[in-house]
Structure 1
Amino acid sequence: MIRVLLFVVTNLSVISLLCIIAFFTGIQTNNIIYLIISGFLFGFGGAFISLLLSKKIALFSIGSNVIKNPTNESEMWLLKVLKKQSKQLNIKTPDLTIYSSNSINAFATGSKKDSSLIALSTGLLNKMNKNEIKAVIAHEMTHIANGDMITMTLIQGVLNTFVIFLSRGIAYLFSNLDSNNNSSQSIFQKTGAVYLILTIFLEIMFGTIASFITMWFSRRREFYADAGSAKIVGVENMISALQKMQYNPYSLEIPKTLTTLCINNYEQNSFLSLFMSHPPLHVRIQALYKKTYM
């Protein structure tokens, strides 16, 4: 709750500053109000709706269901591991699902710590030993305990708000430089080619910059999740799990909407490392050896 409050206060403070600047640059009050409302609705609104529906979206995307009643020894053992680690981290035991995939992967999602989901691939369960599986579960548990999902949503919401606010505000100002445009026209009425083209261009530009920030946070949280796992099950087990992923090429068998959530999401042939949601596996392994984030 404190985390949400701090993000909202920060967002309101910066938006207020931008409003003051916008007022002195000639944007009318009704247009500023529109920018604020649209920024919050489309920025924060979209991010939080996505978070609230994250479990349902994840289950639908991978075509799986929550395991409520274990049907075999493997499922019983996994649920025991979840319960034990949940007690260690003082959080409610997450729901568990297993999805069919040859890739070694797992992810955690959910709108809050006490309503989360951990998904494990069949490839992971078939190719890892029990200690390595415990390490992967502990990694995902740490994401949940750290509140990474809500933090990621808040960051994305704040950035989305600024992308919308700045792109439309700047596009409005520049489009009014054209003598043929009516400077008293409201943003509601703005449909000219100059305004629309500028808005699209600026949203792409600011959106790209925003992606750098969200992906930077995403990479940082992976290091802390690895460290959290190492504290729960031991550094050697977490390193062993990452090495197992390293020697089994990542297979793109999971929907793109879920790839940022997965423990194994580093592609060697990526266009730019700044856009990657996960650090390279060898870098994560070195961080564990050096105990950088412990």
Structure 2
Amino acid sequence: MLRIGLFLLTNLAVLVVAGIVLSLLGVGSYRSAGGLDLQNLLVFCAVFGFVGSFISLFISKWMAKKTMGVQLIDQPRNADEQWLVNTVVELSQKAGIKTPEIGVFPAQESNAFATGWNRNAALVAVSLGLLQRFERDEVRAVLAHEIGHVANGDMITLSLIQGVVNTFVMFFARIIGDLVDRVLLKNEDGRGFGFMIATFVAEIVLGILASMIVAAFSRYREFRADHAGATLADRGAMIRALQRLQAESGAAESAMPSSMRAFGISGGMRSLFASHPPLEARIQALRDAA
């Protein structure tokens, strides 16, 4: 229920902010009796495409804390938490970034994630299951992997890519909808149900194709973050951490939103839509780089 409420709240924020931006830009309707106003249409799609992507980015830390039940470590309460804080501080200094907020979330799956709107205002969190089952050098490698995501600016880059694909999906879907309504259905006004239905179908098809682009970058950033884990921590420990994940791959998949699965496995998917490369490919890439 909480996630549904947050989803609706986020979409309401997108509508409000996008409406304000369009008003400030003086963008009117992109449809007229003469057809589509492509300039207004492109601005309209860009505003909605990027506003949605960036609102999600700006509230990502807050969303993670709410939906994942992340407990921040403000003052370490025991030796394990002190080690965790010291390790993140050390790795952040090596990576040249400000120390992220550090947290633990109550999941038995071995997982971790990094999120935040910029490299100096991030959150790094690990699951209780990972802390309980991984050796400390492996946990350190996992943390280095997450610090690598932050240092590489992966969150902001992914948001930019998502904004671009959102823009063009909306743009071309509406052009397709207009063509179907005018050419196939002979609706000269271009405002019939054909436009709405064709646009809806086109958005689904183009959205599926666009998701392949986003997934491809997501897989690429995992290889880069693995390299960061090997560089900031230890290559052998990074490989062992991935091998341990591989051994646990038969366990239940984490309930973490896919956008936050920065280290975990993605349900065994090995397709163009997978957000993570196969673990064996990541392990081999680390070995080859050595």
Q: TM-score, normalised by structure 2?
A: 0.84
Question: Which residue matches 1:67?
Answer: 73
Q: CA deviation at 1:171?
A: 1.0
Counterpart of 2:128 (choices 122, 126, 131) is: 122
Contact 1:96 1:118 in 2 (8 A): yes
Contact 2:253 2:267 in 1 (8 A): no
Q: CA deviation at 1:174?
A: 2.3
Question: Which residue matches 2:166?
Answer: 160
Contact 2:239 2:286 in 1 (8 A): yes
Q: Quick check: 1:143 aligned with 2:149? A: yes
Question: Which residue matches 2:255?
Answer: 254
Instruction: Look up the equivalent residue of 1:273 and give its one-letter code.
Output: S
Distance 2:263 2:188 in 1: 53
Instruction: Look up the equivalent residue of 1:278 and give its one-letter code.
Output: H
Q: CA deviation at 1:173?
A: 2.3
Distance 1:276 1:241 in 2: 20
Q: Unaligned regions of 5+ residues in structure 2, if any?
A: 1-31
SS at match of 2:71: coil
Q: CA deviation at 1:29?
A: 8.0
Instruction: Look up the equivalent residue of 1:153 and give its one-letter code.
Output: S
Instruction: Spell out the pairing of 1:228-239 with structure 2 (5 A cutoff).
Output: 228-239=228-239
Counterpart of 1:284 (choices 282, 285, 288) is: 282
Question: Which residue matches 1:194?
Answer: 194
1:120-165 CA distances to partner (integer Å, 9 max, x unpaired)?
0000000011100000000000000000000000000000000001
Indicate the RMSD between aligned Cα atoms, in angstroms.
2.1
Q: CA deviation at 1:34?
A: 3.3
Distance 2:149 2:185 in 1: 54
Q: Unaligned regions of 5+ residues in structure 1, if any?
A: 1-25
Distance 1:218 1:197 in 2: 31
Question: Which residue matches 2:243?
Answer: 243
Q: CA deviation at 1:178?
A: 4.8
SS at match of 1:108: strand
1:262-290 CA distances to partner (integer Å, 9 max, x unpaired)?
3112323x3x6111000111111011111
1:231-290 CA distances to partner (integer Å, 9 max, x unpaired)?
11221010011111111135333233545x33112323x3x6111000111111011111
SS at match of 2:252: coil
Contact 1:27 1:173 in 2 (8 A): no
Q: Quick check: 1:134 aligned with 2:163? A: no
Instruction: Spell out the pairing of 1:48-127 with structure 2 (5 A cutoff).
Output: 48-127=54-133
Distance 1:91 1:166 in 2: 39
Distance 2:174 2:264 in 1: 37
Distance 1:63 1:157 in 2: 28
Overall identity of the aligned pairs, in %:
39
Instruction: Spell out the pairing of 1:207-226 with structure 2 (5 A cutoff).
Output: 207-226=207-226
Contact 1:39 1:165 in 2 (8 A): yes
Contact 2:58 2:116 in 1 (8 A): yes
The structure whose RCO (Cα within 8 Å, separation 6+) is larger is 1
Change (3 A) 1:94 1:171: same
Q: CA deviation at 1:41?
A: 2.0
Change (3 A) 1:206 1:180: closer
- Count residues in correspondence: 259
Question: Which residue matches 2:22?
Answer: none
SS at match of 1:177: helix
